[in-house]
Amino acid sequence: MKGKGLENVVAAETAVSMVDGEKGRLVYRGLPAADIALESSFEEAAYLLLEGEKPDEQQLQAFTESLKKKRKLPEHIHKMIEQFPDDLEMMSVLEAAVAALAEKAPLEEPLRDQAERLIAVLPVIIASRHRQLQRKEMVQADAGLSHTANYLYMLHGQKPEEVETRALEAYLILTMEHGMNASTFTSRVIASTESDFFSAAAGAIGALKGPLHGGAPGGVINMLEAIGQKENAEAWLRAKIVAGERLMGFGHRVYKTTDPRAEALKKICESIAGKNDWLDTAYHVEEKAVQLLQEYKPGRELYTNVEFYAAAVLKAVELPANLFTPTFALSRSVGWSAHIAEQRKDNRIIRPQSVYIGK
């Protein structure tokens, strides 16, 4: 019998991405994800994952315009959001709204068009619900803004600074896809039954909602807020290490060396150091923490994981904690879409066996 949780069981062959935990590599369609995050826009990275190749200028423009046209929230979804009780969490709102998108999906609509609708409308659903809970008027999408900048604009009601957009864009690209994780596997299982695209996406959202998968990096933010200023970092970190307490944002179940996503986000923070106080502090804390961990725990491989810099970025762009996992979902929707399409091309219903242990 294999290990619990299907650990080390190969469930599919894929050309979408490769996660190499031993060597610390994450590859999208043959290209290092870290390089893509540093050099590309959200739209370029999404096109690469969906189509399997980087877009030329004409393809990118057509894809970008198509996403913008699909931003409009269907009226029945808008009414649904208005009727949800205030205490219904955002991920449950997303799950229900995405499932309801299937109601208006023509049977003959190409899968690619459905994927674009999902990617385009998720930020709108999140922003609309967020504004509703704040008792503020919904902000209409701005066709002049990119996918990432428009998300921030619809959330806050003002156009974001370029520093904010670039930091969040890098985060979104680096969380678009990550192998056969729980939500991606869920989307492929549902797609394998020949259910509709939006049901597969809604199921993936349900899986991501679980704290063991899409848990928000709140612990890192709490740590950074407790430190407060760069000058406090060494004394605070040293005290925690001496007390045997865990430093949040270090270590990863898959990566046995540096998390490539964290490295890329770190480079983004380096490039804009001094332009955002929060990112500047996070960069300093990470450097000091690594130094102290090597001093107190020599020989142990404890590297920064993506949650550390994810927390720094999400806090820097003023996202409240209840939007962390939904924002993760809007980026991961690209990977789900690519996997659903791949599953359909060579489909066989996913039906593993179980071992009976009852009386």
Known catalytic residues are: 252, 307
> Across the beta sheet with 17-20, what order do the strands follow?
17-20, 25-28, 31-32
Q: How far apart are CA 110 and CA 113, in angstroms?
A: 5
Tokens of 347: 């489909």
What is the number of residues in the chain? Answer: 359
Q: Please check whether residue 150 is in contact with residue 140, taking contact to mean a CB–CB distance below 8 angstroms.
A: no
Q: How far apart are CA 171 and CA 267, in angstroms?
A: 12
Which residue, 330, 331, 175, 333, is CA-closest to 265?
Answer: 175
Angle at 222 between CA 285 and CA 243, to 5 degrees: 70
**In this structure, what are the phi and psi dihedrals at residue 202, rounded to the nearest 5 degrees?**
-65, -40
Residue type, 184: T
